[in-house]
Amino acid sequence: MMAASASLMGSVPQVCCYSATAGGIGDEGCSRSRLNLIIPPPRPSPSCPPFPKIGANIPSRSLLFSPPRWSSRGFGRSASSRKKYNLWNSFTSKFDERLARATLVEKRKSFCCLRLHPRGRTGSNIFTSRVFPDKSAFHLSRHSLENSLVKQVYVPRAAVGPDEPHAASTAWPEGILDKQSSHSLDLEIERTELESFLSTELPSHPKLYRGQLRNGLRYLILPNKVPPNRFEAHMELHVGSIDEEDDEQGIAHMIEHVAFLGSKKREKLLGTGARSNAYTDFHHTVFHIHSPTCTKDSEGDLLPSVLDALNEIAFHPKFLTSRVEKERRAILSELQMMNTIEYRVDCQLLQHLHSENKLSKRFPIGLEEQIKKWDADKIRKFHERWYFPANATLYIVGDIDNIPKTVYHIEAVFGQTGMENETAATPNPSAFGAMANFLVPKLAVGLAGNLSQDRSAVSTERSQILKKERHATRPPVKHNWSISGNNENTKPPQIFQHELLQNFSINMFCKIPVNKVCTYGDLRNVLMKRIFLSALHFRINTRYKSSNPPFTSIELDHSDSGREGCTVTTLTVNAEPNNWQSAIKVAVQEVRRLKEFGVTKGELARYMDALLKDSEQLAAMIDSVPSVDNLDFIMESDALGHTVMDQRQGHESLVAVAGTVTLEEVNSVGAEVLEFISDFGNPSAPLPAAIVACVPKKFHVDRIGETDFRITPDEITTAICAGLEEPVEPEPELEVPKELISSSQLQELLLQHRPSFIPTSPEVNDAKVYDKETAITQLRLSNGIPVNYKISRNEARGGVMRLIVGGGRAAEMPDSRGAVVLGVRTLSEGGRVGNFSREQVELFCVNHLINCSLESTEEFICMEFRFTLRDNGMRAAFQLLHMVLEHSVWLDDAFDRARQLYLSYYRSIPKSLERSTAHKLMLAMLNGDERFVEPTPQSLENLTLESVRDAVMNQFVGDNMEVSIVGDFSEEDIESCILDYLGTVSARRGFDTTRGFNPIRFQPYPSVLQSQQVFLKDTDERACAYIAGPAPNRWGFTADGEDLFETVRNISANYDEQLLDESPLDRNEEQKSLQGRFHSHPLFFAITMGLLAEIINSRLFTTVRDSLGLTYDVSFELNLFDRLNLGWYVISVTSTPGKVYKAVDACKNVLRGLHTNKIVQRELDRAKRTLLMRHEAETKSNAYWLGLLAHLQAASVPRKDISCIKDLTSLYEAASIADIYLAYEQLKIDENSLYSCIGVAGTQAGEEISGSLEEDESTEGLNGVIPLGRGLSTMTRPTT
């Protein structure tokens, strides 16, 4: 689906709740976060500096489907929508989020390329003839770029009705083509016809059904087949923190907690495989349930039960004193957990941006002193005031074919709610005040089939029988808009200075009303802005990469925010404190350059073509978009008043307006967006809504140490003005390669190497091994590179590819610690291959819509590509991979930048409570092994460009590499690419895959380091803790060299009875055979450990959070390696300083209590359902299959074979409680093996942490970078 406009909500606060899963509680992101029009740069991983990428920064997956957010970063994402930092899976460099975890929504958000730094691009050749390719039947007359007028255009209209799913007509009325070819119309007629076309309304989604009950409850239904047999049901109450009185700050969030976790009907769904969660933002409270349509145990439809649970949660909660007290404790813990320096920066930004209204002081999490006071009666009164059907909207999206039946269930469950003993009152259409257009979905569009008249009649009738009208007392949110000539409210730059800040950051804001996207003209404006700002992003992030820039990043974000009720443009500059003035000058100078000279013809052609290709790709994937992504999009589009279209309609509409766009108009529309910066200080220019600098109190100076950082508002203004005075010149056109390897070069390579396929192993004679059940093909090239591929139709015309190289950081020798991680970063910083510059490589990727990421982990180096099969996209991706393997360019300045980034990142650790606590525990548990933490300054200073290059490239050896590809390609095409570009890679040998790495050992016990503490000086109190211990690897090997399968083979037949009293079951021969095979299967420990983790997580939530009230967030995670013979588990818990020690003891008791408090079959069944449903849903993703294919032919992971994929489902089913205890026995949880570290922040702490990282090394270099934005404070976190 797509809203004509673009922009998912954004940075506004949202407070979220819990994620109840079938196996207990799982972390689930909140449902609404802004999507980006332009690819945001990757955020820093918890253990390394942010890694750049090579790639197309343009399409964030369709201008329409992902509502536009023009951004070169993603700061608007809320805290709850971000994945929580995983400090355990990646204590090494991560180029970006692992592709295996990517979902379709992520692909929509960012479709770029080999990212080598803030998402640069890699694009196309210079376009000449067909700048706007004709991709559909919209044959608009093509005038030159300078001519904005078009001939008469037939605008297709979408048919309405569920039986005609994609009925936008592509046929031309008789005579239209003749009229279009006529050149007799004069200019005025053409102008009139263009204006008429642009004023035409966009088509509405043909399958989206809208209705309203007599009690005022609005509902929307959208059938969607992905994932199959599941659906999303979200109940949105139009009430949030903005509706709270001065003594009610946080009460909407409190109600969300109490109503959600107090629902007995919701609890009954836990055994069905349903997941549920909730969140609160400025204007909304949303309860959502992700559920199967039915269960194996019952024949009935689960929809009525899900709706019944939502009805109880939203409209009939029980405000029991016991539940109120439990949630009060949880919220107070949540408040402290959220109160990181990043959250406080977000609050500062919002407070200054919205200083004129309540948004600046109504953060959804609330105020601690008030949360402590409310009783159940106070909470109930707020609920009675706002929580009623006429103030709510129900969204249902999923595998639902029978809409009349769904409507019947909605009416049966909700029809009488709110109708009890009430008299009608005619609703005031403007009752929502100024925010109505942003908050209330439209009712009159998209009604389906014969039901539309009935629903419309009900909508008319309902105004006579409402329980109560929507409140006219809702306070309107008034904004001081940044408009020309409005100089009455000039604000000086604001400065937020804090000891926990490490880098300099400044944000310049511009605030304007949201422009609804409902017509072709509106869509055209969105397209032009996106092209303009894409050019700016690319220029900034490539121009300065050939030398050390004065900034860390410069980002421009232009996005609509449904939560804030406005459109915000933000220029964000991050820099080292000693370079802040130069960084501001560069940012302002580049904005001025673009504003004054505009984009070039080449840039217009390049980004227009890429946007159309991306839109076309998304339209082809219309049947592959998950329900939750479609639902999120509808909710946001309705909140903003944008027209909702499906992917095909969106692409057709985009093509229709593309031919009318001119260079002059793009530059004119784009210049308006930048005026608040480029014309700063000019009386006629729009005033910035706010300028906010977030700065450290001290910063590091080479050879001097820590120095006070001083800055004034006048100095900030002077730096901005200095950038306005810098000379600027027009942007030169770039020559972009059509290919990286020419046909003649390829022929030479083929003649030189003569690639062929050879048998995959000595035991196999065939050169191709094909498994019919999984459709997986295994090959091996004559240069030794093994290749796996799977042809998949899951994602139309799309594909993914991953190169895995064995070794990673574990291969670093004692005298070269950090060499691999620094080498990978150096390679990505440089971005050059062969004779092609970084800019050319990035634009090559833009043209072909290639997204490539590079990362180093503890045991591998990985390179991942996402590509389309349009315009030779797959062949282009293979060319890039070949060039990286054969012709990488290693640059001194790239090495210097990479090293400075790691020095900076290391120094930032003491300013983060979570990172410093985890860092200290990892060093203790792994006996100080630096390969699993950040490299120290001393290690970094010992490295050279040659040493890091050798450390990386020596691992790129034929049989030490493995390539896997999944996509919608043909057998002939994929094997041709494999032979041409992988087969012609030099057959290098030399990296010994069997050599013993420097031994990795856990700290010998007993040790004084097993229980440690970290103290951090801070203005506010917070606490966190980590508990960790040894575990085997995924394949049953331990750090002591033990093969645990020997233990499994020696288990007696009566092991079940010896361990626990399991319900007696009569097992047939097939079950016994399956159980026997399971015990000897290579995945035995991976399966049982996964199930064990689900069970422990559920118990931790139930005990530590819910029963004892010691934490808001607690989790158990396993890190099981594939190549290394070890693993570990970790429990992460947040709390208050007064409760954190009790929380740690409670977590240990749960971990050790599985023998005294036996696992029961119900717990195991829930865990199985959770993991199996997750597996079933993920098999629709190419990226997930890529993960399954990994290591299939890797010599360093000998136990993995095709059975690990084929038998996965049956292995989960075969697992018994006794098997789970076998896995449990392998976790080292005794006092001699368990490690813990507690971190406490407050005014009385700080001495220990500040010296803990610096006593062994002198640290010199740059200051670290903490990502800043106004997203963390905009909504609450998931409650569970």
Query: Which are the catalytic amino acids?
Result: 256, 327
Contacts of 295 (CB under 8 A, 6+ apart): 272, 273, 302
How far apart CA 789 and CA 1182 sit, in angstroms, is 11
**What are the two backbone dihedrals, phi and then psi, of residue 7, each rounded to the nearest 5 degrees?**
140, 110
Whether the CA torsion 785, 791, 797, 801 is positive or negative: it is negative
E-strand spans in 388-493? 392-398
How far apart CA 375 and CA 1234 sit, in angstroms, is 41
Residue-wise DSSP of 1131-1177: EEEEE-TTTHHHHHHHHHHHHHTTTTS---HHHHHHHHHHHHHHHHH
Helix residue ranges per DSSP H, 621-662: 627-640, 647-658
Identify the bridge partners of residue 394 per DSSP, sorted by sequence position: 219, 235
Identify the bridge partners of residue 230 per DSSP, sorted by sequence position: 292
Residue 663: half-sphere exposure toward Cβ, Cα within 13 Å: 16
User: Any idea of the CA torsion for 278, 280, 284, 289, to the nearest 10 degrees?
Assistant: 0
User: Counting every residue, how long is the chain?
Assistant: 1280
DSSP H or E segment with residue 830: helix 819-830
**What are the two backbone dihedrals, phi and then psi, of residue 964, each rounded to the nearest 5 degrees?**
-125, 140
Kindly report the number of other CB atoms within 10 A of residue 776's CB atom. 22
How far apart CA 624 and CA 620 sit, in angstroms, is 9
**What are the two backbone dihedrals, phi and then psi, of residue 280, each rounded to the nearest 5 degrees?**
-130, 135
**Beta strands 1235-1242; 1011-1017: pairing state:** parallel
Q: Are the C-beta atoms of residues 302 and 295 closer than 8 Å to each other?
A: yes
CA distances from 218 to 389, 451, 864 (A): 8, 15, 44
**CB-count burial class (<10 Å; 0-12, 13-18, 19+) for 927:** middle
- Tokens representing 556? 């421009």
Residue pointed to by tokens 């993991």: 1171
How far apart CA 729 and CA 1005 sit, in angstroms, is 66
**What are the two backbone dihedrals, phi and then psi, of residue 953, each rounded to the nearest 5 degrees?**
-70, -25
Kindly report the number of other CB atoms within 10 A of residue 460's CB atom. 10
How far apart CA 902 and CA 892 sit, in angstroms, is 16
Helix, strand and coil percent figures for the chain, each rounded to 5 = 40, 15, 45
Helix residue ranges per DSSP H, 8-140: 104-109
- Tokens representing 358? 């309540």
Identify the bridge partners of residue 786 per DSSP, sorted by sequence position: 780
How far apart CA 826 and CA 121 sit, in angstroms, is 18
How far apart CA 903 and CA 897 sit, in angstroms, is 10
How far apart CA 271 and CA 273 sit, in angstroms, is 6
Residue pointed to by tokens 């009738």: 461
Nearest CA among 379, 357, 438, 129 for reference residue 258: 379
**CA end-to-end span of the chain, whole Å?**
29
Contacts of 416 (CB under 8 A, 6+ apart): 215
The radius of gyration of the chain's CA atoms, rounded to the nearest angstrom, is 30
